[in-house]
Chain A
């Protein structure tokens, strides 16, 4: 709730898209891995996830096997990873294509930040989202 408030404040103050992204990723990571003090993150493209790199409570890992969560922006990356991991993408296309293994996605559409969580992968990982994020859960795409 606190995080959502700060996001709202950011929006009101017309923060830069990067700042908004940073806050959204903070909320997402916090919701998916609520018990982790330091979250080990693997990303396939630093340019696509520069906002994540700005977060404090994450540790970037080189090996996707050692990561708690994977952030993917390229289709090629799916060949390198295990679908047992929590996977998050940054496009609707990837999300739709890999909806069975990907837990969710965050992307910009028409200048608006869009968040989608997929119910089945959430259940597979035994993740219950906080109430304020429930509205972003989709059954299928």
Chain B
């Protein structure tokens, strides 16, 4: 951006300099032409005056005054002769002499108009006229003080080597007008050229302004008038991360505003939020609309400590919390969560720092929203961020794939369904299993992207083969509106295939948002999706789930299954879970079936469905298709 601005500035300066040079050159040419033409006229008049002198010398003797006073006929003759030379542009041709008192008087006047009488005084610039007498040389002077006279050419009338008078030829302002007239066509061409160049320059400026405007438009988010991601890319390339702190701000439960009041209100809230942020920040801070309701803010950091930056973030958050947005008589309150990075320069790149801000934002959300989250344990953050980047790259470059493990109906010995298991191939082609990356990407936007991709691939399989396929999700994925919306979006896109989808939920948390979980699971059931509880019988297992949630399947914890040949307790737990499930019409799937002995015991326990390495390892779907189709 800066480089382009510099280039534009240089271009404009160069064009202006060129125009200036051309303007100057035009005037110099005009001046030179003027000077040369002037010289031609002066040379000409010098010649004319020389001939006048020669002519007069033929008639006049040592004292022309006495001679002409006594001889009016000669006066008349000579005046008529002089009159022949008094033509435009030299209007007045006359001869003066200097009397004893130093005054100049007419001897002869050949002028066609305003003719002076013999011996009449003419008030002239005596200093210049006297020069002709003292130097005996021709003099030329410009009438700077007259708008009527232009140049006067004076030539001494030498009779017997003495100055007997002065031959004067006056050019009136007609001369410059005549010269201007001669120059006018050339001047007109030069002026047109100059005008053309100037118009071109104006067009260029206009185009440039248009370009800048369009460019600015392309960099600005039309709704919030903050910068958009296009500008973020440019911005990131031109700043020193050490000079900024990064804030990732997200409006909490924004979807609810859209759902409850409509998108117009949602847009209004976004606009107002942007205005508030802009008002609270300084000109040197930058605000970007990063996502739907997500703002990325760069605070110019003048060696502020972490606490001060945290205060800025908190001031933003509290102002939003305390603002009541009014739209069509609706009073709307919002809160925001913020992820704060105080030292972006400590990350490998600005991109990573932004990702970390995103993670902190999720952390703030996870901790209950309406708060700012930040940490200064950079070493851990950096390694996690690096891993997240690897996973993100794998998703973006199509290196995420699904393997399936069959779930058998052990009564009929046929495949009942498959469990989709996500894998990632690293850049060297090694397969990475979910235990190596799922924990790191939890609560980041990458996790959402991963969920979306898994669902996309799962539905592609279902669509192609019309088989039952289960995917694994956490309870928190259902309660998290961002992830849940992604899931619903994918299901909506594949509505006809939804009945083949089975969601295995892992009880990894307590049910802080039990009502939300219940509502959303019923929402999924509307699509005829089957819900399974994974690893039932361990961890957070709670029989309350069976009472409150729409559960279709229980997958008994693999550790219990593995132990049934050796542990009576495990055997009986499995037995009672199966018995309970059967009594409330819930299917049971046994995991970790690793040998024939376990399989036989499952038959004994009347468990109909089983999966495990003994029955089939996770493999690409194609490996099972022959048996299945």
Contact = CB atoms under 8 A, between A and B. Distances in A.
Chain A residues touching B, range:
20 to 34
B597 interface: no
Given A110-B170, A111-B170, A111-B172, A14 B122 contact: no
B13 interface: no
B122 A11 contact: no
A14 B144 contact: yes
Interface stretch (B40-48, B111-119, B332-340, B454-462): B111-119
Given A11-B145, A111-B146, A111-B172, A92 B122 contact: no
Interface in A2-61: 11-12, 14, 16-17
8 contacts: A17-B148, A92-B117, A111-B143, A111-B146, A112-B146, A113-B123, A135-B101, A135-B103
A135 B102 CA distance: 9
A116 B111 CA distance: 22
A127 interface: no
A112 B147 contact: no
Contact of A110 (B111, B117, B147): B111
A37 B188 CA distance: 56
Contacts of B584: none
A109 B92 CA distance: 11
Interface in A108-141: 108-116, 135-136, 138, 141
Contacts of B114: 108-110
B414 interface: no
A61 to B, nearest CB: 30
B575 interface: no
Given A14-B145, A17-B148, A115-B123, 7 more contacts: A12-B145, A108-B114, A109-B114, A110-B94, A112-B124, A112-B146, A114-B123
Nearest to B148: A111
Nearest to A112: B123
Given A116-B121, A135-B103, A138-B121, A110 B116 contact: yes
Interface in B100-133: 101, 103, 111, 114, 116-117, 120-124
Contact of A111 (B101, B103, B149): B149
B124 to A, nearest CB: 7
Nearest to A16: B147
A135 B124 CA distance: 12
A114 B111 contact: no
A41 to B, nearest CB: 24
A116 B394 CA distance: 109
The 10 closest A-B pairs by CB, nearest first: A111-B148, A11-B145, A111-B149, A114-B123, A110-B92, A14-B145, A110-B114, A111-B146, A112-B123, A12-B145
